[in-house]
Amino acid sequence: MDELISELRSTQAKEERQIGSTVNTNDLPISNATSKGLSNEVPPDPFVQENLEETPDSEEDTKDDCHELTSSQVPISFHIMKLDFDALAQVKKENQVEIGIDKIKCCKKYKIENVFAGIIKKLSVFGADTACLELVDESGSICGSCPLAVVDEFGLKVGTIVLLSKCSLWKINGNHLNIVGANIRKVI
């Protein structure tokens, strides 16, 4: 954090030297800094549209931008998910799926006999042989675990629509699906 603050201050100091109009009060003696702070000048109103300056877009301005989003902060594109949900609705209609993920999450049983479907939203690998995936539909999301061999065998990846049946439920912080190859009816 200290390195980030130091970097911001050095960038600000470079900009002030280039502009030449701003005085860094940290470099002045205390008496000068206090007299500068009590200036009679009225600062410009930041909400007045005519006072806003446009900044040119260039690679120099953005390469050191500390406000760039990291990959973990970038949201998943809505229109892709919207298309996936449309495809999921079609698959549910074709396969007569009547149970949603919200009902599975509230289920008291230890096995789901009905056919249900979901889109793989997240796929993580744990250890050498286990994968954790998050299934989502219009009603909610639920996590599940399956062997990596199943992921490879069926080609499971983020965005894939999966039809499942006869899945066991683990009661780990709510319901958690235990998925094996025999549970997967169809992968789209």
pLDDT along the chain (188 residues), means of 10: 73 64 49 50 58 47 50 53 85 93 93 94 91 93 95 94 95 92 95
Read off the pTM: 0.58
Angle at the Cα of 110 from the Cα atoms of 105 and 116, rounded to 5 degrees: 55
The pLDDT assigned to 173 comes to 85
Query: Are residues 171 and 95 part of one domain?
Result: yes
Query: Are residues 128 and 46 part of one domain?
Result: no
Count the domains in the chain: 2
Query: Are residues 82 and 43 part of one domain?
Result: no
Q: Of 188, 165, 185, 160, nearest to 177 (Cα)?
A: 165
Q: Of 121, 163, 125, 168, nearest to 147 (Cα)?
A: 125
**Does a structural domain hold residue 100?**
yes
Query: Are residues 117 and 34 part of one domain?
Result: no
Residue 102 lies in domain: 78-187
Calpha distance 48→20 (Å, rounded): 24
The pLDDT assigned to 51 comes to 45
5, 8, 14, 18: CA torsion to nearest 10? -140
Q: Which residue is it, tokens 């446009």?
A: 54
137 in Cβ contact with 89 (< 8 Å): no
The pLDDT assigned to 16 comes to 62
Q: Which residue is it, tokens 């000068």?
A: 32
**Does a structural domain hold residue 104?**
yes
Query: Are residues 101 and 43 part of one domain?
Result: no
Query: Are residues 93 and 32 part of one domain?
Result: no
